[in-house]
Copies of this chain bind each other. A is one copy, B any other.
C-alpha cells in the first residue's frame, strides 16, 4: 500500500514514521509513505501558499493553486488513488471503521496543511473527503495525517508481530475494553481481581463483559446508547 502525504512540513514526519512498528512495516514492504512539499508547487516569488479569506475574518486560508498542482503531480505517479483525504476539524469523524476501509485501498492520498482553513474549491475540485480525527484544533494537519497512517498501517499484513496482532477488541463490538492486569498479583497492596486468577474461562468472560459494559456506560454514554440500540435490533431480528 502507498500513502501519499501532501504537506508544508515533510520534515515533521521523520521520527514518528521512522520508529518502532511503522519503521518495520516500511522495511518489510507492507506499505510506503511518499511525502510531497506543497510549497514546491507555487510560482509565487515568496513561495506563499496561503492568503486572507474573502469576506474578512481572522486567520489564513490555504490557496488552490499549489495544492491542485501538487496533487496532480502526485496522482500521476502509479495507480489511481483510491481515496483522497483532507485533514480538517470540519470533516466527518475518523474512526476504526474508516481505518479498516482505507486498509483495503492500494493508494491513499492525505492532504495536510493549515488545519483550520482550506479554500473550499480544493475539496470540490479534487473530490477530497474532509476528515477530522477529533473535536480539537491543532496547529496543522500533519499529526492527523500521521494518526491515519498509523491506524491503517497496523491493520496491514506483516506490520504487527504475532504478539500484538488480533488484539483489536477496542471498538470491534462497539464497547470499550475491560480492565487489564498483568504480573505481579500484588503490587503495592493492589491486587488482581480473583476471577482472573481462577482459570474459569466462562466466569472470566462474564466478568470482562460486565466490566466492559460498566465502563462504556460510565465513560462513553454515546457508545453505550448505540450499543443498546444495536442489541435491541439484533434481538428483534432473532425473534422474527
Contact = CB atoms under 8 A, between A and B. Distances in A.
Interface of A: 9, 11-16, 19-22, 50-56, 58-65, 68, 89-96, 98-99, 116-121, 124-125, 130, 133-140, 142-143, 146-147, 150-151, 153-154, 160, 163-171, 176-177, 179-185, 187-188, 190, 192, 195-197, 201, 204, 207-208, 215, 219-220, 222-223
B96 A136 contact: yes
A177 B90 contact: yes
A192 B55 CA distance: 10
A89 B171 contact: yes
B180 A61 contact: yes
19 contacts: A9-B20, A11-B15, A15-B15, A54-B197, A55-B208, A59-B164, A60-B182, A64-B187, A92-B219, A117-B167, A121-B181, A125-B187, A133-B133, A133-B136, A137-B171, A138-B154, A139-B160, A143-B150, A222-B222
Contact of A15 (B12, B170, B192, B223): B12
A49 to B, nearest CB: 10
A135 B181 contact: no
Given A181-B120, A182-B61, A138 B134 contact: no
Contacts of A60: 163-164, 167, 182
B146 A143 contact: yes
A186 B135 CA distance: 32
B137 A170 contact: yes
